[in-house]
Amino acid sequence: MKENTIAKQLSLATEKLNEAGIENARLDAEVLLAYVLNTRRLALYVHVAKVLTDEQITRFHNLIKRRLERVPVAYLTGHKEFMGLNFAVTPDVLIPRPDTEVLAQGVIEHLHEFNRENLKLADLGVGSGAICVSILKFVENVTADAVDISKKALEIAEFNAEKFNVDDRMDFYEGNLFEPLEGNIYDVIVSNPPYIAAAEFKNLQVEIETEPHVALHGGADGLKFYRKIIEAAPKFLADDGFLAMEIGFNQSESVQKLINDNGNFKYLQVWKDLAGIERVIAAWKK
Ligand code: GLN
The mean pLDDT value for 73-98 works out to 97
pLDDT reported for residue 171: 98
Question: Which residues lie with the beta carbon below 6 Å from any ligand 1 atom?
Answer: 97, 192-196, 208, 216
pLDDT reported for residue 204: 87
Locate CATH 3.40.50.150 in the chain: 79-285
Q: Whose CA is nearest to atom 9 of ligand 1?
A: 194
Locate CATH 1.10.8.10 in the chain: 2-69
Per-residue pLDDT tens for 119-154? Answer: 999 999 999 999 999 999 999 999 999 999 999 999
Strand intervals (E) in the chain: 79-82, 85-88, 119-124, 142-148, 170-174, 186-191, 237-246, 265-272, 278-285
pLDDT reported for residue 41: 92
CATH for the 79-285 domain, from 3.20.20.140, 3.40.50.2300, 3.40.50.150, 3.30.420.40 = 3.40.50.150
Q: Are strands 142-148 and 119-124 parallel, antiparallel or unpaired?
A: parallel
For domain 2-69, is the CATH number 1.10.8.10? yes
CB 249 within 8 A of CB 102: no
pLDDT beyond 90 at 2: no
Residue 149's H or E segment, with its range, is: none
pLDDT beyond 60 at 23: yes
Least confident of 1-5, 67-71, 86-90: 1-5
Ligand 1 atom nearest 246 alpha carbon:
9
Spacing, Cα 45 to ligand 1 middle (Å): 33
Cα dist from 84 to 44, 105, 131, 138, 160, whole Å? 21, 12, 12, 11, 13
pLDDT reported for residue 1: 57
